[in-house]
Amino acid sequence: MRFVLNQELIELDDSQIDINLSLLRYLREFKHLCGTKEGCASGDCGACTVLLGHYQDDAIRSDKLTSTAQTTPPEENDNQANKAIHYHSVNACILPLSAIHCRHVVTVEHLTQISATVPNTSAGEHLASLYPSQQAMVEHHASQCGFCTPGFVMSLTGLLERRTQIKADTTTLKESVKDCIAGNLCRCTGYRPIVEAGVHMFDLAMINPPADLANNRIVDTMKMLNTYGDSSKRTHQYWQPVSLNEVCNILHAQPEARIIAGGTDLMLEVTQHFKTLTKIIDISRVAELKQITRPAVENAQARESKIRIGAAVTYTELLHAFSDIQTLQQLILRIGAEQVRNRGTVGGNIANASPIADLPPVFLALDANIEIIDGQQKKSTVNIDAFYSGYKHTVLNDTPACIIAIEFNADYLNDFLRFYKLSKRIEDDISSVMTAVRFAIENNTVKDVRIAFGGMAATPIRARQSEQCFIGKSIDDEQTLQTACNALRKELSPMSDVRASAEYRLNMAENLLRKAWLELNGHHLPTINQTHFTQSSQLRTGEEQSHA
Amino acid sequence: MRKLPEAYTKKSFSVPPTATSATQHSDNERSAHQRKINQIHESAIKHVQGKAQYVDDLPNTVNTLHVATGKATHANAKIVSLNLEKVWQAEGVVDVIVQGDIPGSADVSPVFSGDVLLAGQTTQFVGQPIFAVAATSYTAAQKAVRLAEIEYEQQTPLLRIQEALAQQDFVLPTQSFHRGDVIKTINEAKFSLSGELTIRGQEHFYLEGQISLAQPTEDGGIHVISSSQHPTEVQKLVASVLGVPIHKVQAEVRRMGGGFGGKESQAATLACMAAVFAQRLQQPIKYRMSRQDDMEQTGKRHDFWNQYTTAFTAQGEILAADIKLAGMCGCTADLSDGIVDRAMFHADNAYYLPQARITGYRCRTDTVSNTAFRGFGGPQGMLSTEAMLDDIARAVNLDPLDIRKQNVYRKDKDETPYGQKIEESVLLPLIEQLENTSQYRQRREEIHEFNRNNRWQKRGLALTPVKFGISFTSKHLNQAGALIHVYTDGSIHLNHGGTEMGQGLYTKIKQVVAKEFGVDSDRIMVSAARTDKVPNTSPTAASAGTDLNGMAAIDAVNKIKQNLFTFAEHYYKVERERIFIHDDIVHVGDQVFAFAEFIKLAYMQRVSLSANGFYRTPKIGFDRSTGKGRPFYYFANGAACSEVIVDTMTGEYKITRVDILHDVGESINPAVDIGQIEGGFIQGMGWLTTEELLWDSQGKLMSNSPANYKIPTVGDLPEDFNVNLYQAKNHEQNVYSSKAVGEPPLMLAISVWCALRDACASVADYKISPPLAAPATTEAVYHCMQAASQYQQSQTAQSGQRT
Ligand SMILES: Cc1cc2nc3c(=O)[nH]c(=O)nc-3n(C[C@H](O)[C@H](O)[C@H](O)COP(=O)(O)OP(=O)(O)OC[C@H]3O[C@@H](n4cnc5c(N)ncnc54)[C@H](O)[C@@H]3O)c2cc1C
Ligand code: FES
Ligand code: FES
């Protein structure tokens, strides 16, 4: 495999790499780049944040512009559109080294190296080698023990890289700074100075534009890797196919191999439970699995049109494609934090079969179908409701297969939809209760309804009895709501655990259904913990969803 | 051409004040001064570049081995058999040890006894190390320890404070102090109330986990580099487990990636384990805990169960309080004696209790031994009293702030239950200033209005003070040493017994030395704390780092200056009064010398340019037998006003505004101090909101990773967050009239908890104080809200019946 690490082209013999080795351990133990820290090795603290760049050649870039017509256009202040290499922040601790073939890895050490080359730094030795994100952190006293600091610097650098041209007002800017560091824990500072540093770095960058993360030489190298570094040639324990066909062939030949997409769940088996994975199929480069098909709004009325989301689509990609669906956007913003959202995928969330995963209830509410392919190239479709058969058990446990995509009626997005996530902490926390509700209304009567939950049973679950109560009833009939709530209590069987008690979970299932019903009936129930999604906030204005 | 703001062209890189109103008002003239005192953290530039080295970043020698431990899966169980065959055979394993392999003492207790490096016949808690492995890699060691076959004979573990109290199972004897006939007063009073509060502990979650690196020396000793707040204890305990004299061991600490008390006593265990292997194998040994091991194997803030009964007047003036504080110490004493003591010393918080009985229980449980955590028991002692003040306010139907102001220490009502006088009158003026600047009264009205008109959301407000005693309550710890060398080029090497964990101690001491010397702080290099430079040090704790080490450093500077000035006096025949150093220039009568030039001259004339300094805190002393004395040199004060908004359906909430006014005396470095205040506040807020420490029924820690134990993230930051420094000097002769700042701000977060309870109380029209757990998780707030609305419903039902 080949990749660029900061300024250096690295070529490694795949057969010599332990596929369980994380990028973080590689950096620290093999390259002695100890600026990237380990605080948890589980994706929770962000101390290991690095930037991962991928080359976007002109063809792909122009292609993307046309094909994303159905999805949301790139953010207004998008600085990456005209750049050859796009960067996003990731947690190096749960990223297998093997996954970064053909990528540009940028660590905190790189910032010092490239800043050192800025001419005319008359400021004396101290300032000579600081990148705007670093300088702003220093100026705002944003480090105390300093252990979290490189991680914050990298998250901020990622933001700066995406949006050098900041036209936004300070409040919006502040919100995007907060977004980008929500996955970085700091136990010392209380964050206020870090947020201020994040805002200030844009001023510094404006006065003194920093050097590009990739100079021409790096861009050329990345271009070269992109042209010749065919992932599918890698055939030693870690397969990185680029087509679905190849996935099937490998599945067939290596039935015991584990599929990895983002690795944000799978890698915890290695870093937390010290298990050894022996064979891995990395599906994150398979073009067919990365596609989102979303018919234009006008066509959505057509009964037949479907929305299709590829299994390897990341949360970040999903967010951009559906940022107009307020309730979905709000939910996605509360899944993990940026580093996790940049890697974690829709397929992984479904396949992992966690009863507290956030998207399965959403897809239950949308009555989605999961398309699967096995080693024999046999495709099948199963409704998500039939996908889960028991605790952490799915149809995939019976035959090794790969999820291709998830599909649902585009029209459903026009129904009344509400997704509510409850957790102890607002950002980067796992749900204690996840509720997804969809009401299809005709003439003030409930025509169809889906009520689904996470955290209320051994699997993501639909509350069928409760749903039944609403069918054919008038939407504003409070008695119906009460019957439905009573039904909920009978059909849900939550547990008490570290996140919440069974009693609270039951009460919340009921209250959140009540909340959805009140909103359906026009009550305004403001959300206390509104998450701001600033990157596309300008886009959203004017085309706010009008539900029901 | 890179143009720099004026601030950076200064040779000494310091930063203009930016963020807080505390420093905003500075005019031009003051801002030069501000830059000087708002010096950046001495490692800030290294931090942002990733160049600051933590123990795990030091270059590994090729033969470094890595340690992991096999953990007990049952608490209070007999180990029936221990089969380590497979562990020995695992890939990469070089050595495996059990308790019997420890050459010296297996007991690694800081003060008392019972903390063993490896479990013997019985286990004390789930997660306790039973055996340890040294292997060629971290992963190999972790994989190997999972292969042990251990059989236990299980016994029921004791897990709850209440059970320990019932069984009188204590790690140390119960203590109490009192004033007046409390019981009589309470029994005879017209108004009295009782309450209880379960307060959960807190995981430190320092970002850098526990770690030590031990290297054998040629003398049969050990050089250990560790992430510890207490190098002297590391040194002492390593010597003790190895059975060698203390002088064979050197402990070194350059910096920690956070400590918060968690690395005060319990960091030594890792050093000891690494040292045992290093001595056996004569190889460098690194022991870094995985985050999960760290969370399961090291102690936390104590859970407390507090009970109070208080008598008061119709106006809410406290007449007497009977307060019982029961701390969950875990399986051994560790530092619990001082921690429960400090809880007791802070049960009055800022209020005069004319009659009081305060009792502290040290409960033993079959869980990991709890330890120091920022505030050291103080926060737990204060929280129930603040709850009590709210209860009184609602009982007499007055605003809680009025009740607080009425009872706060003041002239003639200035003696604590343990007999120490409150000599400064800071508390009341400070509270009143904050009351004004936070517009408390106006917002109280607005909130009433809002709550009347909103069913789904309720807002709450609370203003609570903090008074925190500064000094170690163990008197002997209140001492410190420093070592200063001036080299012939005029550069200065500074070393002291304090450790840097992010609190800015090194930065401040550097400033203190620069100021005392009269030189530019760029001359000074602060070096790692080492037991062979400054010996017999106290832990960097009790907020006293700057106080103690600063004074010791001043002493050292003055010794060197004494040498220099005596030399100048004789050499140049100038009176002593006309010799001084200012702004890097040595003035000898009418002659001036550059500092370096003068130092070279002094050297040539054989003047000693090195000195050690020493300090012991004056005035303090407390007599346990009478329960009276002066445990604290002085008190640090502060107050916070917090506002929250709560969703009545779910218990979700948000902290909308926080105003803080805090007393740090004359600040040595306002930027550093404000950093401590904000960071301490957010940490305290985490303790009382999202951080829920939970054990299961078998004593296994359920909240054992950052995936299920949630410290605050940036989104939890109050939307509006104003921090100001109260302008006053320390009336005691503390270093440059400053006050300690490390711990006290954590307790400002009690205002958040009180505000949440206030929001819930609004549902019952403030007629009751509904019970709220600590931490006030969304679930806890929901239950509190439910309790209030049930009360309200029962009231309406009753009045419905009556009419
Ligand atoms: C810090 C952190 C925070 C998180 N927060 C949340 C949260 O808020 N909400 C939430 O729901 N989850 C959360 N997660 C869990 C995780 O990020 C998600 O479940 C994510 O969607 C998993 O996707 P992935 O691509 O990383 O999966 P991977 O780790 O790559 O795979 C997970 C499992 O799915 C299988 N798999 C993946 N793709 C396919 C496919 N196409 N076909 C068949 N099998 C497949 C893998 O074999 C593996 O068993 C969090 C994780 C971390 C580390
Ligand atoms: S080390 Fe904590 S997220 Fe990677
Ligand atoms: S500065 Fe210590 S964790 Fe952030």
pLDDT tens by residue, A210-231: 999 999 999 999 999 988 877 7
Domain stops at, among A207, A240, A272: A207
Q: CB contact, 8 Å: A267 with chain B?
A: no
Q: In the 8-state DSSP scheme, what is residue A468?
A: H
- Chain A, residues 170-229, CB within 8 A of chain B, namely 178, 181-196, 200, 207-208
A281: CA distance to ligand 2 center in Å?
Answer: 23
User: From the candidates A26, A192, A504, A521, which should be mutated to test the interface with B, based on the most B CB atoms within 10 A?
Assistant: A192
Give chain A's domain count: 2
- Ramachandran angles phi, psi of A258, nearest 5°: -95, 140
What's the whole-number mean pLDDT along residues B156-170?
A: 97
**pLDDT surpasses 90 at A75:** no
The two structure tokens encoding residue B695: 């054990």
* Range in A142-146, B16-20, B427-431, B451-455 the model is least confident about: B16-20
| Contact across the interface for B207 and A147, Cβ inside 8 Å | yes
Residue A422 lies in a domain: yes
What mean pLDDT do residues B259-275 have?
A: 98
Instruction: Say if B366 falls within a structural domain.
Output: yes
Helix (H, G, I), strand (E, B) or coil at A380: strand
Which residue, A207, A227, A259, sits at the end of a domain? A207
Hey, are the CB atoms on A191 and B694 less than 8 Å from each other?
no
Do A202 and A295 belong to one domain?
A: no
pLDDT band per the 50, 70, 90 thresholds, residue A168: low
Q: At CB < 8 A and 24+ separation, what contacts does B222-225 make? A: B222/B248, B222/B249, B222/B250, B222/B275, B222/B278, B222/B279, B223/B249, B223/B250, B223/B252, B224/B249, B224/B250, B224/B251, B224/B252, B224/B271, B224/B274, B224/B275, B225/B55, B225/B58, B225/B251, B225/B252, B225/B253, B225/B254
Q: What is the pLDDT of residue B798?
A: 85
Subunit contact A122:B2, Cβ cutoff 8 A: yes
What single-letter amino acid sits at A20?
Answer: N
Q: Can you give the CATH number for the domain in which B698 is found?
A: 3.30.365.10
Do B687 and B721 reside in the same domain of the chain?
A: yes
Ligand nearest to the CA of B676: 3
Distance A267 CA to ligand 2 centre (A): 12
Give contacts of B692 with chain A, Cβ < 8 Å.
Answer: 424, 498
From the candidates B252, B691, B692, B743, give the one annotated as an active-site residue.
Answer: B743
Same domain, B462 and B592: no
Same domain, A33 and A177: yes
Q: What is the pLDDT of residue A64?
A: 46
Measured from the CB, is residue A191 less than 6 Å from ligand 3?
A: no
Mutation test residue for ligand 3: of B207, B263, B676, B714, the one with most atoms within 8 Å of CB: B207
Q: Is the residue at B609 inside a domain?
A: yes
Backbone angles phi, psi at B78, to 5 degrees: -85, 140
Q: Is the peptide bond prior to B103 cis by the omega test (within 30 degrees of 0)?
A: no
* B204 vs A contacts (CB less than 8 Å): 187
Alpha-carbon distance of A144 to B676, in angstroms, equals 9
**Boundaries of domain holding A313:** 288-540
Mean pLDDT, range B726-737, rounded to an integer = 95
Closest CA to B794 of B765, B751, B772: B765
Residue A242 lies in a domain: no
Structural domain contains residue B664: yes
**Cβ A338 under 6 angstroms from ligand 2:** no
**By percentage, how much of chain B surpasses pLDDT 90?**
94
Same domain, B240 and B383: no
Closest CB to B502 among A135, A146, A511: A146
Say if residue B547 is in the same domain as residue B667: no
Q: Which residues contact B112 (CB under 8 A, 6 or more apart)?
A: B171, B172, B332, B333, B334, B337
> A260-274, A300-314, B577-591 — which is least confidently predicted?
A300-314
Q: Where are the alpha helices (DSSP H) in B298-439?
A: 336-345, 378-395, 400-407, 427-437
Question: Ligand 1: which atom is nearest the Cα of residue A268?
Answer: 53
Residues A162 and A299 occupy one common structural domain: no
Q: Are residues A200 and A293 in the same domain?
A: no
State in Å: Cα A93 to ligand 2 middle.
5
CB contact under 8 A, A143 and B504: no
Are B597 and B691 members of one domain? no
pLDDT per residue as tens digits for the range A407-429: 999 999 999 999 999 999 999 99
**CATH number of A101's domain:** 3.10.20.30
Contact residues, A window 41-80, toward B, CB-based 8 Å cutoff: 41-42, 44-45, 47
Ligand nearest to the CA of A317: 1
Domain check: are A375 and A491 in the same one? Answer: yes
With vertex at residue A27, the alpha carbon angle to CA A56 and CA B712, rounded to the nearest 5 degrees, is 85
From A160, A191, A207, the end of a domain falls on: A207
Q: What residue numbers bound the domain in which B91 lies?
A: 56-155+210-288
Q: Are B508 and B645 found together in one domain?
A: no
Provide the 3-class DSSP secondary structure of residue A304.
coil
**Ligand 1 lined by A45 (C-beta under 6 Å):** no
Q: How far apart are CA B522 and CA B226, in angstroms?
A: 27
Residue A274, in any domain of the structure: no
Ligand 2 proximity of A325 Cβ (cutoff 6 Å): no
Residue A143 and residue A25 share a domain: yes
Query: Domain for residue B375, yes or no?
Result: yes
Do B411 and B429 lie in one domain? The reply is yes
Q: Are residues B723 and B670 in the same domain?
A: yes
- Identify the residue whose C-alpha is closest to ligand 2 atom 3: A43
| Residue A280 pLDDT level (bands cut at 50, 70, 90) | very high
pLDDT tens digits, B322-361: 999 999 999 999 999 999 999 999 999 999 999 999 999 9
Strand A388-390 versus strand A85-91 pairing type: unpaired
User: Cβ of A498 and B9 within 8 Å?
Assistant: no
Please report which ligand is nearest the Cα atom of B682: 3
Same domain flag for A203 and A305: no
Task: Give the gap in angstroms from C-alpha B151 to the nearest C-alpha of chain A.
Answer: 22
**pLDDT reported for residue B173:** 98
Instruction: Establish if B322 belongs to a structural domain.
Output: yes
CA nearest to B703 within chain A:
A498
- Would B541 be classed as within a structural domain? yes
In total, chain B counts a number of residues equal to: 803
**CB atoms A189 and B209 under 8 Å:** no
Asked, for residue A275, whether it belongs to a domain, the answer is no
pTM above 0.90, yes or no: yes
Domain count within chain B: 4
In a domain, A12, yes or no: yes
B548 and B405, same domain (yes or no): no
Q: In chain A, which residue's Cα lies nearest the Cα of B11?
A: A124
Ligand 2, residue A339: give the atom nearest the CA.
Answer: 3
A184 Cβ below 6 A of ligand 3: no
| Pocket mutation for ligand 3, best pick of A37, A38, A148, A152 (most atoms within 8 Å of C-beta) | A148
Nearest CA in chain A to B459: A528
Residues A45-57: pLDDT tens digits?
Answer: 999 999 999 998 7
Question: C-alpha angle with apex B705: B699 to B709, nearest 5 degrees?
Answer: 85
Identify whether B200 is part of a domain.
no
Domain identity same for A348 and A201:
no
ipTM attached to this prediction: 0.95
Mean pLDDT of B654-681: 97
B74/B124 same-domain check: yes
Residue A528: give its domain's CATH number.
3.30.390.50
**A533 within a domain of the structure (yes/no):** yes
Cβ of A35 within 8 Å of Cβ of B51? The answer is yes
> Which amino acid type is present at position A65?
L
Asked if residue A317 has its Cβ within 6 Å of ligand 1, the reply is no
pLDDT score recorded for residue A302? 66
Mean pLDDT confidence for B456-473:
97
CA of B734 to the centre of ligand 3 (A): 28
Q: Is B296 a catalytic residue?
A: no
Q: Which of B312, B391, B310, B389 is nearest to B767 (CA)?
A: B391
Lowest mean pLDDT among A198-207, B311-320, B478-487: A198-207
Same domain for B629 and B763? yes
Atom of ligand 1 nearest to the CA of A283: 41
Per DSSP, the three-state class of A362 is: helix
Is A233 among the domain residues? Answer: no
Q: How far apart are CA A350 and CA B347, in angstroms?
A: 51
Shared domain check, A442 and A344: yes
Contact B714/A272, CB-based, under 8 Å?
no
Which residue of chain A comes nearest to B645, CA vs CA?
A: A528
CB of A358 sitting under 6 A from ligand 1: yes
Query: Does A519 contact chain B (CB < 8 Å)?
Result: no
Q: How far is A341 from chain B (nearest CA, A)?
A: 15
Segment 356-385 of chain A within 8 Å of chain B by CB: none
Computed on alpha carbons and rounded to an integer, the radius of gyration of chain A in Å comes to 24
Residue A265 alpha carbon, nearest atom of ligand 1? 29
Please identify which residue in the block is written with the tokens 């054992």: B704
- Residue numbers in B near A427 (CB within 8 A): 713-716
* Ligand whose nearest atom lies closest to the CA of A244: 1
Cβ–ligand 2 distance for A27 under 6 Å, the answer: no
Are residues B637 and B725 located together in one domain of the fold?
Answer: yes
- DSSP β-bridge partners for residue B657: B643, B720
d(CA A110, CA A93): 18
Q: What pLDDT score does B508 carry?
A: 97
Q: For tokens 């010749």, name the residue.
A: A228
Report helix angle A132-139 to A149-162, nearest 10: 130
The backbone torsions φ and ψ at residue A417, rounded to the nearest 5 degrees and listed phi first, read -125, 135
A196 and A300 in a common domain: no
CATH number of the domain to which B96 belongs: 3.90.1170.50
Q: Is A530's pLDDT higher than 70?
A: no
Q: At what angle do helices A502-520 and B778-802 cross, to 10 degrees?
A: 70
- A178 and A292 inside one domain: no
Give yes or no for residue A542 having a pLDDT over 60. Answer: no
Residue B26 has pLDDT above 60, yes or no: no
